[in-house]
Structure formats: C-alpha cells, structure tokens
Structure 1
Amino acid sequence: MKLDLVDLGLFVNIAESGNLTHGASKSFLSPPAASARIKALEQEVGRPLLVRENKGVRLTADGQTFLRQARLVLRQVDFMQDEMLGAGRIRLFANTTAVTEILPDVLAGFLAERPGVKVDLQERTTSEVIRGVTEGVADLGVVSGDVPMTGLEVTRFSEDRLVLVTPADHPALGARSLRLEDSLAYDHVGLHDGSTLNRFLRGQVPHGGYERSLRIQVRSYEAMCRMIEAGVGIGVMPVSAACRHAAVMNVRMTSLKDSWALRHRSILVRDRRALSGICKALMDHLIAKGDTVEQG
C-alpha cells in the first residue's frame, strides 16, 4: 500500500470538518482535486472510507480506523521534524483543575528552558481527554480521579484533595469535617454543567441530591469563591484552588470525610515509547513537579 502524506492530511481535514469542501480548503486544494485524491486513496486502501451525503460526509467503520492511524502517522512525522529542528509542539488536553491550578506554573518553568517549544493546551472533560489521547488528537492528557480501563498508559504524579469552602462565619465551620451529603442542607455554589468536577460530584450523591443543592453555577474557582465570600452558598473545590483564593478572600476550608475526596492526578499517553523527545520531557517534568504541587 502506497500512501501520500498529503492525502493523509486531506483525509484527516475532511473527517474532522465533516465536509469535503471545508477539508479541501484546509488542505489548500480545490474540491474537485480533493475528491479525486480521496477516490484514489480509497482505491489504494481497497475499502470505502467516506459516505457522501447531502449535508457533508461521514466516516465508514473502516474510515474511523483509518482516521486514527492517519493521525498517528502524521503526528510521528511532526515529531521527526521537531526533533531535527530542535523545536516541537505538544498537544495537551487537561481537566479544569489542571488547567487553572497546576499547569500554569509547571508549563511556565518548562517553556522558559525551551524557547523553541510550543504547547497547545486545551481544557477538556475527563472523557474528552481520554478520547483525545486514544484517537491521537492529543499527545498527553492530565486528569483527576480514577481512569477507566482504556488501553492507555496511566502514570500517577500527584494528589488532588477536595475540600468544602464556606464563608468565614458559616455554621458548617462548627464541624471539623463533613460528608458531602451532610453539607447539602446548605445552598451550594458549583461549576458549570460541562465541568469535570460538576459531573464528578453529581455522581457521588444519589437521586440528584447535589444538583438540587446548587443555587448558582459559575465558570471558575475564583468566581465560586467570590460567590461563597458574598454568602450565596458553599462549594467543593480542590484544596490548591481553595488555598490560593482563601489567601485574598474571607473564606474558610472544611475537610470532607468522603473517601473519594482524595483523588489521584494522572498523565495519560497512548505509548510512552512512541512519544517525541519533547513530549517525554514534559511528562518527566510533570512527574518531577508532582510532589511539589500545593496540597494545602
């Protein structure tokens, strides 16, 4: 089988846009030229990869498989070019806590020592991180909590403890620690519905108990703490975020008794041996910095 890198890139662009014309434009080709290349590619593979429809295209089952492998081939070519040029680009997917609390400091030090390196950091839910790494869209993923059996390599590098944050004069402070269910007697401030933490907490309380306690939902831990400080409610967040905001806001922390409140942070990769040198360097940097991550 003889495959052309231009054709692989074209196929990926068409698959990701769901439209031949848009994919052709991303590949700097005319629609007729792109269509001819895809037909030749399917003939070379010996199987249909796309189904043409009125509103665009969709992948066949073989097309889904081909897409995964094409992404990996193209990424390995990128790795080779980066290694030869002494530079590189890392595609990193991570959950909310990692993006806002952990990675800024870690990446700042890492990039300061490597001026030729660029990082594409995207905030994603845990399921999206897993899918992105599995499909080769992301080189590395960072998540908190248990990771389902996915065939990915999982490396734990630090801990993520959840605490209850309250106004300084809140009655919940009378207890040294609480279970999440006990705290639901009070109004809660939470993150938006798409956040990993919101989904996680909903799963810890049966019959929608956590969802019913939510009085307001916001987009960041800082906004949560401002609402809590103002007396709108109480909220659950990672201790690293709570400590940072408690230093400048009139809020306090109370421990959660629940066993799930202590979670592991993990790095996800498809195959560490297949990573570029710069991706391996970032992974090693994360692991080395894991023990120094603020835990309160």
Structure 2
Amino acid sequence: MHLDLVDLRLFIHIAESPSLTQGARKAFISPAAASARIKSLEENLASRLLYRDSRGVELTPAGELFLHHARVIMRQVDYMKSEFTEYGAEASGHIKIFANTTAATEFLPEILAGFLAERPGVTVDLQERLSRDIVRGVMDGSTDMGIIAGPVEADSLQVIHFSTDQLVLVTPLDHPLAGRKTVKLAETLAYPHIGLHEGTTLLRFLNEQVALHGMTLNMRIKVYSFEAMCRMVEAGVGLAVLPESSARRHQRTMGLAVIELDEPWRVRERSVLVRDLQALPTVTRALINNLLTHHKTAEQDA
C-alpha cells in the first residue's frame, strides 16, 4: 500500500468541508484533480471512503476510520517539521488546544501571554469546547491537547492532573442565603440565576445537575465571563455558580458572598489530556510544563 501525504491532507480537507469542491479549494487543487485523487486512494485501499451526491460528501464507516489515521499521521508530520526549524525546537510551531470554559477564559490567557511573548515564532489555536468534544478531539487527533475539569473516561489518553478547584455559589451580601456556610443546589432553584452563554461547559453541566431534580434553572441572564457574572450578582440580579478560584478573585473587589455547595460533584479536578506526551513536539511539551509550573506556584503562594 502506497499513501501520499498530499492525498492524506486532501482527504482531511474534504472530510472537514461540506463538499468536495470546497475541500479541493482548501488544498489548492482543482475539483477534478481532487476527485481523481480520492478515487485512486479508494482503489488503493479497496474501500469506499466517501458518499458523494448533490448535497455534498459524507464519510463512510471506512472513511471515518481513515480520517482518524490521516489526522494522526499529518499531525505527526507537522510535529516533525516544527522540530527541525532554524529557530529551535521551542521557538516555533503551532499548538491547537481544546479547553473548557474556565481554562479558556480564566487562566490560559495569562499563561499563553507569557509563553508566546518569549516565542515569537509560535502560534496557538485555542478553542472553547464541551468536555465530550475535548476528549473526542484529543482521541481523533484533531487537537494537540485538551484541558478539562472532572472525570475523564478515555483509557487510551494520558491524563495529567494539574490543579483542583470547586464550584461555589455566589450571592449578593444581603441575600437570604448569604449567611449560610453550605447550601444544596436544589435550595437555590427558587431564585433567579446568572449563567454563562449557551454552549459553555459549565452551563451544560449545571443544567444536567438541575434536571436530576426534575427542574430547570431559573436563568435570568447569560453573560460571557465570570467577571460579568459576579458584577450581575453584586447588583442583585441573581445568584451564580462558578469556580471558587474565580469567585474569590472577584470577591476582593466586589460585594459578594461565597458559599460552599454541599454537592458531591462540586470538586473539579483539572487535567491536561494528550494522546502521547513524549510524541508531542518540544514546544507543546514546554507549554504543558508552563501550565503545571504556573499552578504549582499559585498553590504554594496561596
């Protein structure tokens, strides 16, 4: 079996596009040439990879399997290229990260700012994703690393724990619940809540927990950051559930009461997910090391 790297990259582009024409455009070849290459690839593999019709393309089961392997191979090729640059192994390269809400909005921007400032040849693609999509992305090779909170059900991945946080309830200082040491989530459902925008990991998780009580969150407004949530709470708009690290930081400058949630799921273990740490390029391993060091130092200073 002979596989051409050009064909692998072309197949990935087509699989990630709504049509063969658009996939061919991304690969900078004509649709006719792309069609011929895919046909030759299918003959070489003795398997049909795509269903093609007027609506676009759809992967066959064999195509799904081939896409997984193609992504892994091409990402490893990209890793190898980044290791042999004139700037040095840590000074250039591209890192793709899938991260949950807290990571993408709270601590990663600070870590990436320092990391990238020291490495002008490095670029990063940071995408906020749901937990299941983070795990799937690392498993199928569509991202270099994932950052997740909570348990991980993926034996094929390496899970690197780097910090522990917990979810807490934040209220205005004059709220009826403000004097409590602990509170059940069910006790908060009679009050309006402030939440993050639709599609975030935290909002989805809380909706799932509330659904177990046969209820829904009384969501008054959804905003785009933990700071905005806390400002709404301080103004008396409603309550909010968010990570304690964020709540305590904003409590220093706002009038907020922070109450422990009496729930088994409140503790959130934060972890980095990778397929194989040693197979990652030097620059990606350097970023993971920076992440671990940052949180270790923060815990020592706390």
**What's the TM-score once normalised by structure 2's chain length?**
0.92
Q: 1:272 aligns with which of 270, 277, 285?
A: 277
Contact 1:164–1:255 (CA under 8 A) maintained in structure 2: yes
Structure 2 residue 97 is matched with structure 1 residue 92: yes
For residues 32-47 of structure 1, the aligned pairs below 5 Å read 32-47=32-47
Letter in 2 for 1:261: R
Aligned residue number for residue 165 of structure 2 = 160
1:75-154 to 2 correspondence within 5 Å?
Answer: 75-85=75-85, 86=88, 87-154=92-159
The one-character-per-residue Cα deviations of 1:105-144 (angstroms, maximum 9, x if unpaired) are 2222222332221111111111111111111110000011
1:192 to 181, 194, 197: 197
Q: How does 1:1-296 map to 2 (within 5 A)?
A: 1-85=1-85, 86=88, 87-205=92-210, 206-209=212-215, 211-293=216-298
Aligned AA for 1:181? A
One-letter amino acid of the counterpart of residue 34, structure 2: A
Cα distance in 1 for residues equivalent to 2:33 and 2:191: 62
Aligned-pair CA distance for 1:242: 1.4
Offset at residue 224 of structure 1 (A):
1.3
Paired with 1:34 and 1:183, the residues of 2 have a C-alpha distance of 57
- CA distance in 2 between counterparts of 1:179 and 1:144 reads 21
State the distance in 1 between where 2:223 and 2:250 align: 15
SS in 1 for 2:22: helix
Q: Unpaired segments of 5 or more residues in structure 2?
A: none
Amino acid at match of 1:70: A
How far off its partner does 1:184 sit?
2.1
Tell me, which stretches of 5 or more residues in structure 1 are unaligned? none
The structure that is helix-richer by fraction is: 1
Aligned-pair CA distance for 1:147 = 1.3
How many residues align? The count is: 295
Give, in angstroms, the shift of residue 216 of structure 1.
2.4
The Cα RMSD (Å) is: 1.8
Q: Is residue 158–residue 293 contact of structure 1 (8 Å, CA) maintained in 2?
A: no
Residue-by-residue CA offset, 1:65-106 (whole Å, 9 max, x unaligned): 111111111111111111111311110110010011111122
- The Cα of 1:279 is off from its aligned counterpart by 1.4
Indicate if the aligned counterparts of 2:135 and 2:154 stay in contact, CA closer than 8 A: no
> Could you tell me how far 1:250 is from its partner in structure 2?
2.4
Quote how far apart the aligned CAs of 1:278 are: 1.3
Runs of 4+ in 1 over 3 A off after TM superposition: 292-296
Q: Return closer, same or farther for 1:208/1:189 CA change in 2, 3 Å cut-off.
A: farther
How far did 1:186 drift? Answer: 2.0
2:78 counterpart letter in structure 1? D
Q: Distance in 2 between matches of 1:197 and 1:292?
A: 26
- The alpha carbon displacement at 1:182 in A equals 1.8
1:262 Cα deviation from its structure 2 partner = 1.4
SS in 2 for 1:267: strand
- Counterpart Cα distance in 2 of 1:39 and 1:182: 61
